[in-house]
Structure 1
Amino acid sequence: MSRDAREWAWEDSTSRGNARLVLLSIADRIPDEQCVAWASLSSLMRRTNASRNAVRGAIAALAKAGELEVLDDFDGPQHSTVYRLPRAAAWLAKVAAARKDDPDAYVEPLTDADPVPELDRERLRKHRIWPKAGSESDPPRQNPTGSASAPPRQNLTPPRVGIRPPSGSESDPQNRSEPKVNRRYSSSRAGDLTTAADWQVDDASLSWAQQQGHLARLGEDGLQAADAKWRHHRAAWSPRAASSWAGDWRSWIAREHSPTQRPNLYALPGGTPAPQAGMTRADAHMAALLAAVDKRTGTE
């Protein structure tokens, strides 16, 4: 369902700049057609690569435009803020109603008259979104065993254990304690360290590779091969922060040769592309070194 919410954000949102990045980051976490998701301010800062004030300003601008709503009566894990995309929820409800009988029916553009569906509070609980204490709903995070001695908001999840939906669907963006972006444990863990094998290439690094011409130079297959080689060489390194891995990965990609730029390891300068008959191993190694030195890189 996050795909439908992202599609609405891409196609119909009027937001720009940091506001658009924040909206897309929240839309990426939406699990169903209610268009409700939780997110901490620090996670939005990491995802958008923006400052705290910039993220807060973006949230205020989105709320003023009516594209984002802060649900103050609810809490996510670790007291994270709960958001809703009301226009996206209204659009998805309109599409579902129009295509109930005809899947190919044309849907008129969304107007201010189209209502926003009411929230189903029980469904929010499945996504670890709970009413705050003192709200009109039941006491939050009630002990499922029925014990009256259990305090509210008891954390029933062991540390560093992900929660998956009953169906085990991989598409649910909130089936873990934090989003699936360069994160291994909850944001309450100090440092948010991860290994090179678990680190995922973020959107900012991919945009950098495209803007700097490395994607065109290496090609998609070459970029994937360079990424695999980087992970192999960094496998023994100790866990680091995602930003540290991103900087190291960019440095590696910038130094990587494209397949067409690799020197022939056997040809002598001005020689044939195959090792000469009768060459010893030492001669072959020397020929490879001379060929690499003789290869023109275009930076002379």
Structure 2
Amino acid sequence: MSRDAREWAWDDSTSRGNARLVLLSIADRIPDEQCVAWASLGSLMRRTNASRNAVRSAIAALAEAGELEVLEDFDGPQHSTVYRLPRAAAWLAKVAAAKKDDPDAYVEPLTDADPVPELDHQRLRKHGIWPHTGSESDPRRQNLTGSESAPPRQNLTPPRVRIRPPCGSESDPQNRSEPKVNPRYSSSSAADLTSAQDWQVDDTSLSWAQQQGHLARLGEHGLQTADAKWRHHRAGRSPRSAAAWAADWRSWIAREHSPTPQRPNLYALPGGSPAPQAGMTKADLHMAALKAALDEPTGTE
């Protein structure tokens, strides 16, 4: 089911930049048509190769656009945050209703009038998502959407380390096991980064291109040409993680135009001379036409 959620994010989401990467990272975890998944802030930082503040800003932008919802009343494993893609859930429900009787029925585009299905709590529990039942003394989850009540630049710790240490003063650091995710100061993160030229297209991206019809639309040669263009335009970019390059590569392939049919060979002569090869300069083309004319029999030999 994460495939349907990813397709909605690729085709219908208006998000850009880090917000799009965050949305795709969450959509990749969705198990069913309710479009609900849990993710810690630290995991989103690692998967998108973005800073803490960048991920928080992306979540706030997605929530403002109505494409992402933070379910404050639920907790994932280890008190991780639970998210929902409401517009994706509404779209999948609309498609299922339209194709219930006719699998080939045309589905109208999603509108604001289309309702978002109610959550099935029993199904959420099968995926490790439970209603939040903390006491008043428990630390409240920070508002990741950036409301007025939240501190403007407060650093949120990954939810997996929210349990307070059994001893120590209040001045002790609460985040002893927080991983370093800033690539400027983390040697482990820097080892996972690569350039666009060195990045290799993975099997998941190739399967995506085939399933989405881009391989049939562009053809194998067209896909290779699009890949070469992408590497040329990304040559000057700073190193990124393989997941970030894969998401950027897919976005490029989805926007790539289908190759136009080749024009007739203007230099083909009655002598059966071969067509000029791609990459020949204008001077080379003229020389090939001249040689073909010289090789053609005139009947005076």
Taking structure 2 as the reference length, the TM-score comes to 0.47
Taking structure 1 as the reference length, the TM-score comes to 0.48
Higher RCO, 1 or 2 (CA under 8 Å, sep at least 6)? 2
